[in-house]
Amino acid sequence: MYDRFVARKLIDQWLIEDIGCFDLTAQLMVDPASRATFYMNAREPMTLAGIEVAAEVFRHYEPECRVEMRAADGDRVEKGAVLLVVSGPGQALLTAERTALNIAQRLSGIATETAKYVDAIAHTKARLLDTRKTTPGLRMLEKHAAVCGGALNHRLGLDNGVMLKDNHISVCGSIAKAVEMARKHVPALTKIEVECDRIEQVREALAAGADVIMLDNMENAAMAESVEIVAGKALLEASGGIRLDTIAGKAETGVDFVSTSRPFQSAPAVDIGLDDAA
């Protein structure tokens, strides 16, 4: 989910960046009266995200554009699938083309990579969480892409939950003191999560009343032991160094969530083209 009003503000910035003073090629070489129709095609299998944003790029730049959606965010499509059809003034379509493709390729890349991680733990009860390690300025849309890939959002921002990490705990003096201080002031419905990297910290966080305990960079055996200790009295999140080849083992320990930044940080853009024939 994302806010369309905010997305249109972002689109303004993207188009201003790409156009500069004006589109030298389109305005000098394309007849302003010309009309065109283009097909946005998937050139490889992918999980979609940002297709509606891409459509809005065309509509926002040229209100006369007409877009027919052939697929939706969250769809898994095969190579050759037509994602949308856009018609309108040829000059405007060519000017907006790259911006529309860039955002669809980037967000669909994240969704596609996320879906691989989701599939890898589908046989467990654990759910995949994203992180805040997003591209500055694109968090709203990148987190939308993660959801399209099947993940759940972790904190949307620093005001979305209390996360007591090692440095916070060090400043407060102990996990117990940090949780107590947070509990006094936190909004009533906001969860408190504590980062732990040792079994004794898990016990302390549980005794302090943490809502969520993050098992940070723990070995699988220690995670499984933590699951037994907590026994459902708090939610458990496995985090730290999660890769596609290790995530299944982490999820199989019995944790509730596994979080990773890798779809944000390492997902390649997928190949999407804008062609004049389907």
Catalytic site positions: 98, 133, 165, 195, 216
Residue 154 has which token pair? 């972790």
Q: Tell me how far CA of residue 19 lies from CA of 12, 26, 62, 95, in angstroms.
A: 11, 11, 14, 7
Measured between alpha carbons, how far is 48 from 206 in angstroms, rounded to an integer? Answer: 39
Residues 6+ apart with CB under 8 A from 94: 23, 25, 26, 30, 36
Measured between alpha carbons, how far is 227 from 232 in angstroms, rounded to an integer? Answer: 8
DSSP tally for the chain: helices H, then strands E: 11, 12
| Residue position matching structure tokens 């906001």 | 190
User: Do the beta carbons of residue 230 and residue 207 sit within 8 Å?
Assistant: no
Nearest to 106 by CA among 98, 116, 117: 98
